[in-house]
Amino acid sequence: MKVEEKLSLLNYKTDPEYAHITIKPPICAVCPDHFCTFACPAKCYTLLNGKLNFKYEDCVECGTCFVACAHGSVTWTNPKGAHGVKYKFG
Amino acid sequence: MSEFDVIVVGAGPAGSSAAIKLASEKMNVLLVDRADPPGSKNISGGVLWGNDLEKIVPNWNKMAPVERYITSKGVGFLTKDSSIDVNIKSRKFLQGVTGYSVLRVKFDQFLAKRAESAGAMLVSGVTVENLAFKDGKVIGVVQEGDTITADTVILAEGANPRVAIDSGARRPIADQDVAIGIKEVVKLPEATINERFGLTSKEGFAGEYALGFLEDGVEAGGFLYTNRESISLGVVINMGHLRADDKTYSFDIMDQFTDHPSIASLIENGKLSEYSAHLVVEGGYNSFPKQYGNGYMIVGDAAGLSFSNGLMIQGMNYAIASGILAAETAIEAKKSSDFSEKSLSRYKEKLMESFVAKDAYNFKGIEEVTWGKLAHKIMPSLMEDVLVNMFLTDGTPKKHLTELIRKAMKENNVKSSDLLMEGYKMIRRM
- Using one digit for the tens of pLDDT, what is the confidence trace for B155-173? 999 999 999 999 999 999 9
Say if residue B369's pLDDT is above 70: no
Taking the C-alpha atoms of residue A85 and residue B321, their distance in angstroms, rounded to an integer, is 28
Q: Is B246 left (phi over 0), alpha (psi -120 to 50) or beta?
A: left
Taking the C-alpha atoms of residue B260 and residue B247, their distance in angstroms, rounded to an integer, is 20
CB under 8 Å to B136, separation ≥6 — which residues? B294
Residues A24-36 have a mean pLDDT of 97
> According to the model, what pLDDT value does residue A62 have?
97
Which residues on A lie below 8 Å from B44 (Cβ)?
A: 90
| Nearest Cα residue in chain A from B173 | A67
Say if residue B115's pLDDT is above 80: yes
The minimum CA-CA distance between B6 and chain A, rounded to whole Å, is 21
> According to the model, what pLDDT value does residue B366 have?
65
Mean pLDDT of chain A: 97
> According to the model, what pLDDT value does residue B246 have?
83
Q: Is B364 exposed, middle or buried (0-12, 13-18, 19+ CB in 10 A)?
A: middle
Which residues on B lie below 8 Å from A89 (Cβ)?
A: 103-105, 185, 230, 232, 273-274
A81–B173 CB contact, under 8 Å? no
Taking the C-alpha atoms of residue B390 and residue B367, their distance in angstroms, rounded to an integer, is 32
Option in B232, B239, B272 nearest A1 (CB): B272
| Nearest Cα residue in chain B from A66 | B173
> According to the model, what pLDDT value does residue B122 have?
98
Task: Write down the CATH number for the domain with range B4-65+103-171+289-365.
Answer: 3.50.50.60
Residues A43-58 have a mean pLDDT of 96
- If pLDDT is split at 50, 70 and 90, which confidence band does B410 have? confident
Q: What is the pLDDT of residues A1-28, one digit of tens each?
A: 999 999 999 999 999 999 999 999 999 9
B40–A90 CB contact, under 8 Å? yes
Contact assessment for residue A62 and residue B160, using Cβ atoms and an 8 Å cutoff: yes
* 3-state secondary structure labels for all residues of chain A: CCHHHHHCCCEEECCCCCCCEECCHHHHHCCCCCHHHHHCCCCCEEEECCEEEECCCCCCCCCHHHHHCCCCCCEECCCCCCCEEECCCC
> According to the model, what pLDDT value does residue B310 have?
57
B273–A76 CB contact, under 8 Å? no
CA nearest to B41, candidates A4, A79, A2: A79
Q: Which residues 3-62 of A have a C-beta within 8 angstroms of B?
A: 3, 6-7, 9-10, 33, 35, 37-43, 60-62
B250–A38 CB contact, under 8 Å? yes
The minimum CA-CA distance between A54 and chain B, rounded to whole Å, is 16
> According to the model, what pLDDT value does residue B309 have?
59
A7–B275 CB contact, under 8 Å? yes
Helical spans, DSSP H, in B217-315:
239-245, 250-259, 261-267
* Phi, psi (degrees; rounded to nearest 5) at B152: -135, 140
A21-50: string of b/e by CB count within 10 Å (b at 16+)?
bebeeeebeebeebbbbbbbbbbbbeeeee
- If pLDDT is split at 50, 70 and 90, which confidence band does B100 have? very high
> According to the model, what pLDDT value does residue B368 have?
65
Which residues on A lie below 8 Å from B181 (Cβ)?
A: 62
Which residues on A lie below 8 Å from B218 (Cβ)?
A: none
CA nearest to A35, candidates A65, A61, A76: A65
Preceding peptide of B37 cis, ω within 30°: yes
CA nearest to B150, candidates B1, B327, B351: B1
> According to the model, what pLDDT value does residue B284 have?
75
Residues B323-347 have a mean pLDDT of 98
CA nearest to B120, candidates B145, B156, B160, B67: B156
Gyration radius from chain A CA atoms:
13
**DSSP strands (E only) in B283-350:** 292-293, 296-298, 307-308, 313-314
A89–B279 CB contact, under 8 Å? no
* Class of the CATH-defined domain A3-7+20-78: alpha beta
- Containing H/E element for B107? helix B104-118
Helical spans, DSSP H, in B150-197:
162-166, 190-197
CA nearest to B304, candidates B242, B367, B250: B367
A66 inside 8 A of chain B by CB: yes
Mean pLDDT of chain B: 90
B180–A42 CB contact, under 8 Å? no
* Phi, psi (degrees; rounded to nearest 5) at A28: -65, -30
> According to the model, what pLDDT value does residue A76 have?
97
Domain boundaries along the sequence of chain B: 4-65+103-171+289-365, 176-281, 372-429
Q: Which residues pair with B225 in a beta bridge?
A: B206, B232
A64–B279 CB contact, under 8 Å? yes
A1–B246 CB contact, under 8 Å? no
Say if residue B43's pLDDT is above 60: yes
Option in B36, B43, B160 nearest A90 (CB): B43
Q: Which residues pair with B180 in a beta bridge?
A: B237, B279
B230–A79 CB contact, under 8 Å? no
What would the DSSP string read from start to end of B336-353? TT--SHHHHHHHHHHHHH
First and final CA of chain B: distance in angstroms?
Answer: 50
% of residues, chain B, pLDDT over 90: 66
% of residues, chain B, pLDDT over 70: 93
Q: Is B249 exposed, middle or buried (0-12, 13-18, 19+ CB in 10 A)?
A: middle
Which residues on A lie below 8 Å from B232 (Cβ)?
A: 89
- If pLDDT is split at 50, 70 and 90, which confidence band does B200 have? very high
Mutation target vs B (from A37, A67, A71; most B CBs, 10 A cutoff): A67
CB pairs under 8 A between A and B: 133
Residues B14-26 have a mean pLDDT of 98
> According to the model, what pLDDT value does residue B426 have?
65
Residues B225-240 have a mean pLDDT of 95
A82–B124 CB contact, under 8 Å? yes
Mutation target vs A (from B162, B241, B250, B279; most A CBs, 10 A cutoff): B250
DSSP class of B28: -
Q: What is the pLDDT of residues B259-302, one digit of tens each?
A: 999 999 999 999 999 999 999 998 677 778 999 999 999 999 99
| Nearest Cα residue in chain B from A40 | B250
- If pLDDT is split at 50, 70 and 90, which confidence band does B429 have? low
Say if residue B383's pLDDT is above 90: no
Q: Are strands B4-9 and B146-155 parallel, antiparallel or unpaired?
A: parallel
* Class of the CATH-defined domain B176-281: alpha beta
CA dihedral A27→A64→B126→B103, nearest 10 degrees, is: 160
The minimum CA-CA distance between B36 and chain A, rounded to whole Å, is 5
Say if residue B361's pLDDT is above 80: no
Q: Which residues pair with B89 in a beta bridge?
A: B72
> According to the model, what pLDDT value does residue B428 have?
67
Taking the C-alpha atoms of residue B353 and residue B341, their distance in angstroms, rounded to an integer, is 19
CA dihedral B28→B33→B38→B42, nearest 10 degrees, is: -130
First and final CA of chain A: distance in angstroms?
Answer: 20
Say if residue B187's pLDDT is above 60: yes
The minimum CA-CA distance between A8 and chain B, rounded to whole Å, is 9
- If pLDDT is split at 50, 70 and 90, which confidence band does B411 have? confident
Contact assessment for residue A52 and residue A31, using Cβ atoms and an 8 Å cutoff: yes
Option in A62, A78, A90 nearest B103 (CB): A90
